Amino acid sequence: MSTLSELLRRVNRVPGVKGSMLVAAEDGLVVEADLMIGVPGPALAALVASLFNRARRSLSGARLGEPTFLQVEAEGGILFAAAPERLGDLLLVVAAEAWVNVGLVRLEAARVVGALP
Amino acid sequence: MNRPEHLQQMRRWSEEVARDPASLSFLPLADAYRASGRADVALRLVLRGLEHHSENVDAHVLLARLYHERGDLLRAMDEWGIVLRLEPERVEARRALALALYAQGNAAAAVPQLERALQLLPADAELIQALQGARAALQAAAPPARAASEAPPIAAPAPPELDGLLALPERGVLGAVLLDAGGRVLAGELAVEGEDRSAELAAALRGASDDAALAARHLGLGAWTSILLETPQATVHLSPLPEAMLAVAGERGVPPGWLVRQARRLRTAAARWLGAEEGV
d(CA B39, CA B216): 36
pLDDT at A96: 92
pLDDT at B180: 79
pLDDT at B30: 93
> Is there a contact between A72 and B192 if contact means CB atoms under 8 Å apart?
no
Contact by Cβ (8 Å): B189, B173 = no
pLDDT at B153: 37
| CB-based contact, A37 to chain B, within 8 Å | no
Q: Is the pTM of this model over 0.80?
A: no
Contact by Cβ (8 Å): A78, A90 = no
Residue B43: CB partners within 8 Å, gap ≥ 6? B30, B63, B66, B70
Backbone phi, then psi, for B12, in 5-degree steps?
-65, -45
Report the residue of chain A nearest B224, measured CA to CA: A74
> Measured between alpha carbons, how far is residue B144 from residues B48, B134, B155 in Å?
48, 18, 12
Which residues on B lie below 8 Å from A68 (Cβ)? 230-232
- Which of B198, B208, B233 lies nearest to residue A55, judging by beta carbons? B208
pLDDT at B262: 78
Which of A36, A39, A72, A92 is the best residue to mutate to test the B interface, defined by the most B CB atoms within 10 Å of its own CB? Answer: A72
pLDDT digits (tens, 9 = 90+) for B10-68: 899 999 988 988 889 999 999 999 988 899 899 889 888 887 887 788 998 999 999 88
Which residues on B lie below 8 Å from A57 (Cβ)? 81-82, 85, 204
Q: Number of Cβ pairs closer than 8 Å across A and B?
A: 131
Report the residue of chain A nearest B217, measured CA to CA: A74
Which residues on A lie below 8 Å from B192 (Cβ)? 62-64
- Gap from A97 CA to chain B (nearest CA, Å): 9
Per-residue pLDDT tens digits of chain A, which is 117 residues long:
567 788 888 889 999 999 999 999 888 888 888 888 877 888 888 888 888 888 887 787 778 888 889 999 998 999 999 988 778 888 999 999 999 888 888 888 888 777 766
pLDDT digits (tens, 9 = 90+) for B220-237: 888 889 999 888 888 889
Angle at A98 between CA B206 and CA A91, to 5 degrees: 55
Which candidate, B30, B116, B104, B115, places its Cα nearest to that of B66?
Answer: B30
pLDDT at A113: 77
Report the residue of chain A nearest B197, measured CA to CA: A62
User: What is the side-by-side order of every strand in the sheet holding B185-192?
Assistant: A30-35, A17-24, A90-96, A77-82, A69-74, B224-230, B234-241, B244-251, B173-180, B185-192, B195-196
pLDDT at B164: 52
- Which of A62, A69, A72 lies nearest to residue B190, judging by beta carbons? A62
| CB-based contact, A16 to chain B, within 8 Å | no
The residue type found at A64 is L
Q: Mind giving me the DSSP string for B31-99?
A: HHHHHTT-HHHHHHHHHHHHHH-TT-HHHHHHHHHHHHHTT-HHHHHHHHHHHHHH-TT-HHHHHHHHH
Q: What is the DSSP pairing of strand B244-251 with strand B234-241?
A: antiparallel
Residue ranges in chain B whose pLDDT is less than 70: 1-2, 85, 141-171, 204, 206-207, 275-280
| CB-based contact, A58 to chain B, within 8 Å | yes
Stated as kind and residue range, the H or E segment containing B259 is helix B256-279
Report the residue of chain B nearest A102, measured CA to CA: B257
